[in-house]
Structure 1
Amino acid sequence: MQSKPISFLSILLPLLALLHTGCTKEKALMYEDDPRVYFKKYNVAHDSVNYSFAVKDPAQLVDSVYLQLRIMGNARPYDREINIQLSDTSTARQGYHFVLGPQIMPAGQYETKIPVYLYRRAGLKDSTITADFIIGASKDFQPGYDDLPTVAVTNRLHYKISMDDRLVKPERWDGMLAPYFGAWSLVKLNFMIRATGRLDWTVLIYPNELSNLSQLSREAMSMYVAANGPLIDENGAVVEFP
């Protein structure tokens, strides 16, 4: 009985499968031998947080925000150290304006949140300060990858926290916010923050969200006026929303 000829594909496909398996194992070993860590970000704009004590109770002297981090490679059955450093571009002082919580990737985890405890200081009423964080090397991790744009504050090795204790006019007010909220005043912005729960008015806000925020502000103002009468701002004008 004559045997069937062996096709080229019947030889090639198993070889390709073996090659793929070998490359996958090699890549896994590479990451296992070279563990890295980076700031977890959802998009390019998610590279900073703006925090203001001005919208908090005057008695509140400390609050916290969180740095989210993720590793490259495999989880390990023991805690590992992360090294978050303060860049020379920072104006905030560690130990005075803020304190970092334990910089640890817990055992068995791929992600963690590290608290940053912010302190209300007198100087925050006069200026905005920043804590510019960068990922440094530790005994357990090297800095992770920079796959977002190369501008320092928009990649995954940098994260910025801005903090103050004052309300200021957002740069976008006249162009983006005025059509929805009317004339600017500090009293109005403070009311908007309390009515909507939104703290950051400095970033781009899309029209559908602006419409919703405007409606919340109008409804809250109607309730306020019904209970207290007109709200007067620092310029002596009645606070109103279009």
Structure 2
Amino acid sequence: MKYLTILFLLVFAIGCKKDDIPTFEGRDGISFFIDYYENPDSTNYSFALQPTVKTKDTIFIKMRLVGKPASVARSIKLKALAGSTARPNVDYILPEVKLPANAIFVNYPLVVFNTPEMLNKSFQLLLGVDPGSELVPGAPGVAVDLSRNFAKMKVNITNQLIEPDYWQNLTFFFGDFSIVKFKFMIKVTELTNFDPNVVDIGELFLIQVNLKKALSDYVQLNGPLIDEFGNPITF
């Protein structure tokens, strides 16, 4: 059985002959990737949103093979690209890891540190695959399942309240994101994580009802709650 894991090929014409189908040639590579419903080529991490105080943490970044699986493990080296503001060995560490034998996917463990400056600043880290890695930078593109490969990945690291990656899945319940809204939600619910993968749909509906009631009580006492964009908060 021939494995073909290069995933940037789009739909072929119906009349395409078997001999016309291109096959992968060249050195095997590794790419960042996201599923079709996820935010493109970026991830946000805030120590302020963690359930406990942390001095360091690990962000797992999804990567996949562009090429053919091998019977041996192969090394993956990442590097910071131009435009990064995060400081190596201060705000983050890039460990060398291996793609396991016969594997296609790996979660790269980016280690980040909670530095004092993050209370007032967000640091940006632009990641790319080091060409000196055993697995070279893989080609970007779109797979048939609409997942996407990227040559680089942007990671925003801070200890401030920022928009979580999962917020796009919450707009039905809570509307557009704002820091003022998020602070109000945390104060009312005493939660910092509203990820639908953690909080089920039924609980999200209940949270929405409780937030509407809490906001109504707030408005009666104080007038409209205005966000940083000058808009009144609604749920």
Asked if the contact 1:85–1:133 (Cα under 8 Å) also holds between the matched residues in 2, the reply is yes
Change (3 A) 1:107 1:76: same
- Partner residue of 1:118? 112
Under a length normalisation based on structure 2, what TM-score does the superposition of the two structures give? 0.63
Equivalent residues in 2 for 1:1-242, closer than 5 Å = 20=18, 27=23, 30=25, 33-43=26-36, 45-57=39-51, 59-147=53-141, 156-167=150-161, 184=180, 187-191=183-187, 194-195=190-191, 197-198=193-194, 213=204, 215-219=206-210
The number of equivalent residue pairs is 193
Where 2:184 maps in the other structure, the secondary structure is helix
Higher helix share: 1
Gaps of 5+ in 2: 1-16, 143-147, 196-200, 226-232
Change (3 A) 1:237 1:169: farther
In the alignment, the residues of structure 1 paired with residue 27 and residue 177 of structure 2 have an alpha-carbon distance, to the nearest angstrom, of 52
Under a length normalisation based on structure 1, what TM-score does the superposition of the two structures give? 0.61
Change (3 A) 1:193 1:34: farther
- Partner residue of 1:6? none
In the alignment, the residues of structure 1 paired with residue 41 and residue 177 of structure 2 have an alpha-carbon distance, to the nearest angstrom, of 27
Asked if the contact 2:77–2:95 (Cα under 8 Å) also holds between the matched residues in 1, the reply is no
Where 2:34 maps in the other structure, the secondary structure is coil
Pairwise CA distance, 1:51: 0.9
In the alignment, the residues of structure 2 paired with residue 42 and residue 71 of structure 1 have an alpha-carbon distance, to the nearest angstrom, of 15
Q: Deviations over 1:54-81 (max 9, x none)?
A: 1235632111111211112221121111
Bigger radius of gyration, 1 or 2?
1
Pairwise CA distance, 1:20: 4.3
In the alignment, the residues of structure 2 paired with residue 183 and residue 87 of structure 1 have an alpha-carbon distance, to the nearest angstrom, of 29
Identity, % of aligned positions: 16
CA RMSD of aligned residues (A): 4.4
In the alignment, the residues of structure 1 paired with residue 189 and residue 123 of structure 2 have an alpha-carbon distance, to the nearest angstrom, of 21
Asked if the contact 2:163–2:179 (Cα under 8 Å) also holds between the matched residues in 1, the reply is no
Q: Deviations over 1:22-80 (max 9, x none)?
A: x77x835x2xx521111122237331111111123563211111121111222112111
In the alignment, the residues of structure 1 paired with residue 124 and residue 188 of structure 2 have an alpha-carbon distance, to the nearest angstrom, of 25
* Counterpart code for 2:34: K
In the alignment, the residues of structure 2 paired with residue 106 and residue 132 of structure 1 have an alpha-carbon distance, to the nearest angstrom, of 25
Q: Deviations over 1:173-198 (max 9, x none)?
A: xxx79868999366414337854723
In the alignment, the residues of structure 2 paired with residue 182 and residue 89 of structure 1 have an alpha-carbon distance, to the nearest angstrom, of 26
Where 1:137 maps in the other structure, the secondary structure is coil
Asked if the contact 1:49–1:160 (Cα under 8 Å) also holds between the matched residues in 2, the reply is yes
